[in-house]
Structure 1
Amino acid sequence: MFSPQDAAAQDVLATKAVTAILVDQSSNTLLYAKAPDQPFEPGSLAKVMTAAAVFDALKAGEVTPETLYTVSEHAWRTGGAPSRGATMFASVKSQIAISDLLQGLIVHNANDAAIVLAEGLAGSEEAFAERMNALATRLGMKNTHFANPTGYPAPGAKVTARDLSLLAGYILSEHKDRYGLFSQPEFTWNNIFQRAKNPFLGNVTGLDGLGAGQSEPGGFSGLVSVERDGRRVIAALSGLPSDKARLASVKDLVEGAWDAFTLNRLFDAGAQVASARVFGGTAGEVPLVAAQNVDVLLPNGGTMNYRLRAVYEGPLIAPVEKGALAGEIRVLGPDDAVVYRAPLLTGSDIREGTLSQRAMNGVRQLLFGWL
């Protein structure tokens, strides 16, 4: 999954959200970012990470969908009927299969399901939060910390729009088989019919996940993924004053991905992009070629503020083997923001040079350095 390194605020898009990001996952292009590293409390968006941690446990064979977990009194009081929040209405001391708990967690946003899953997998909410944070670290979510599986207010709990986009990309790439839960419209468990609580479902064409959140200081937030005509985008935002304003902002961002950008083929796979200097070889440089088709979404109506840059650490030391990873191509947007990156490979073999050739290379480096 593409991991945007720099914020890029394009003139072609705007949002009333305090913080937002829009990534085209299909082409690995950062389309828009507004304060994407500004933290906010996750609210119920923490449940997306709870789901990801459970998905990981299922994939690793640690548990199965049929594994039963017992509803503790803590889970019942804190997240069940007495809490007056979103709940599966699970009875204390009853046993529920992970498959049903995941439906409660993702479809109905149930807090008791989140706590039962956490206690079942890790023994306590606190121990499960350690799993959540370990996964966040592995995904490169640098400005995120989870305190519990529900998203209930807690000191130190925070996420960012950028980090949430990484989480969504991880679920889409590593747990595609379970992603359908995020667009499931309803489910019935224990003779209780429950509808999906995701406020975005059915209101944005092609939207099939992931969730929404709210907190007193951070306002209304959301994390969504939309697929249309073979293209998928991920958007995350926060800081909206109401659920109505949040939905409008989600629509504006998502529609902009299709209305304001066009896919451009910059290089075919295998095409030469640049050259890299080589030290100690039979040749002084080697071509750098695109490892894949370089398809980048660029704004309609002009790209004067966009530049290409080939980056590598060099000089490369002979011998150089054809097809070795040597660097990357970057597309820089306004303010030198990195909006796209893709690997560059060496395009040919360079054998180690003779003693005299290596000596000459040394003289050149001493006198002129390597540019």
Structure 2
Amino acid sequence: MRLQVLARVSVLWLAAGLLVNAVHAADPNQIPAPPALNAKAYLLVDHQSGRILASHNENERLDPASITKLMTAYAVFRSIRDERIGLEDPVLIGEAAWRTGGSRSFVDLGDRVPLSVLLQGMIIQSGNDASVALAEHVSGSESAFADLMNLYAKELGMTDTSYRNSTGLPDPEHYTTAADILKIANAIIREFPEYYRWYSQKDFTWNSITQSNRNGLLWRDTTVDGMKTG
């Protein structure tokens, strides 16, 4: 199930013509009813005030798919802040990372790729190969990195979340909720503003291959600045 987080909401844009000046003139605090969405769960919050604008089944456990990579990025950012790794570290691309299926950043087996490049490949292109390579660089193995992800989830109060991998590939014990996704999104924005620009970067090039950010809303609305699609 695809969930999507949009951070720093300055304008609630639901559909053309849905919000009209007359509504705001009558009651500036009025929030229109959300439209019917083909989603099992969603949560829309004003980042500045914390006010919930729209929600549906926000505490239901669902497969987060690639939204998992919000926590993958957060765990890597924490390791950088703790000076255990660095942005320019040459990260070895092992066989596990190279063979991981799904979306790719097109790194090659045996290459040593700067950690900052892998972060961009994961955040912008949602590369599973980059995710696994980062996990192995931080913790030695993806399973050990998943333990670290769960530790940070607990610290952030993500009580309905369980991680089993760094990519979001399906696993019955890998789940989260819209409410918990809000917590990890807020943590990234609050603790690591210096890396937030990557979430709105529209393309990424590696090995002479340029790929677009998977968040199509970046082209549809200039107020959108992230974060991750599932």
Q: TM-score, normalised by structure 2?
A: 0.82
For 2:178, the equivalent position in structure 1 comes to: 161
Point out the structure with the larger strand share.
Answer: 1
CA distance in structure 2 between the partners assigned to 1:94 and 1:46 by the alignment:
25
For 2:73, the equivalent position in structure 1 comes to: 51
Matches within 5 A, 1:151-230: 151-213=168-230
* Residues 55-89 of structure 1: per-residue CA shift (max 9 Å, x gap): 111112111101111111111112xxxx3x32122
SS in 2 for 1:210: coil
For 2:33, the equivalent position in structure 1 comes to: 12
Offset, 1:13: 2.8
CA distance in structure 1 between the partners assigned to 2:56 and 2:106 by the alignment:
39
For 2:94, the equivalent position in structure 1 comes to: 72
Offset, 1:155: 2.3
SS in 2 for 1:212: coil
For 1:113, the equivalent position in structure 2 comes to: 130
SS in 2 for 1:44: helix
CA contact (8 A) 2:106 2:207 kept: no
Matches within 5 A, 1:335-350: none
Equivalent residue for 1:24, pick from 46, 64, 80: 46
Offset, 1:32: 2.5
CA contact (8 A) 2:64 2:176 kept: yes
* Residues 149-181 of structure 1: per-residue CA shift (max 9 Å, x gap): 010011211010000011111111111110010
CA distance in structure 2 between the partners assigned to 1:123 and 1:21 by the alignment:
35
Following TM superposition, the consecutive aligned residue runs of length 4 or more in structure 1 with deviations greater than 6 angstroms are none
Offset, 1:127: 0.5
**Residues 169, 15 of structure 1: alpha-carbon distance in 2 compared, 3 angstrom cutoff:** farther
For 1:137, the equivalent position in structure 2 comes to: 154
Offset, 1:196: 1.4
* Residues 122-161 of structure 1: per-residue CA shift (max 9 Å, x gap): 1111101111111111111110111100100112110100
SS in 2 for 1:202: helix
Between structure 1 and structure 2, the one with the greater Rg is 1
CA distance in structure 1 between the partners assigned to 2:44 and 2:224 by the alignment:
14
One-letter amino acid of the counterpart of residue 29, structure 1: R
CA distance in structure 2 between the partners assigned to 1:28 and 1:195 by the alignment:
31
- Aligned-residue CA RMSD in angstroms? 1.5
Q: How many residue pairs were aligned?
A: 199
Offset, 1:30: 2.2
CA distance in structure 2 between the partners assigned to 1:153 and 1:26 by the alignment:
33
CA contact (8 A) 1:107 1:181 kept: yes
Point out the structure with the larger helix share.
Answer: 2
CA distance in structure 1 between the partners assigned to 2:41 and 2:103 by the alignment:
26
CA distance in structure 1 between the partners assigned to 2:216 and 2:74 by the alignment:
20
Matched, 1:37 2:54: no
User: What 5-or-longer segments of structure 2 have no aligned partner?
Assistant: 1-30
CA distance in structure 1 between the partners assigned to 2:55 and 2:132 by the alignment:
33
CA contact (8 A) 2:42 2:55 kept: yes
CA contact (8 A) 1:146 1:158 kept: yes
Offset, 1:11: 6.9
CA distance in structure 1 between the partners assigned to 2:162 and 2:116 by the alignment:
26
CA distance in structure 2 between the partners assigned to 1:189 and 1:175 by the alignment:
24
Q: TM-score, normalised by structure 1?
A: 0.52
* Residues 253-302 of structure 1: per-residue CA shift (max 9 Å, x gap): xxxxxxxxxxxxxxxxxxxxxxxxxxxxxxxxxxxxxxxxxxxxxxxxxx
Offset, 1:18: 2.1
Offset, 1:204: 3.0
Q: Which has the higher contact order (CA 8 A, sep 6+)?
A: 2
CA contact (8 A) 1:199 1:212 kept: no
Percent of matched pairs sharing the same residue: 37
User: What 5-or-longer segments of structure 1 have no aligned partner?
Assistant: 1-9, 214-371
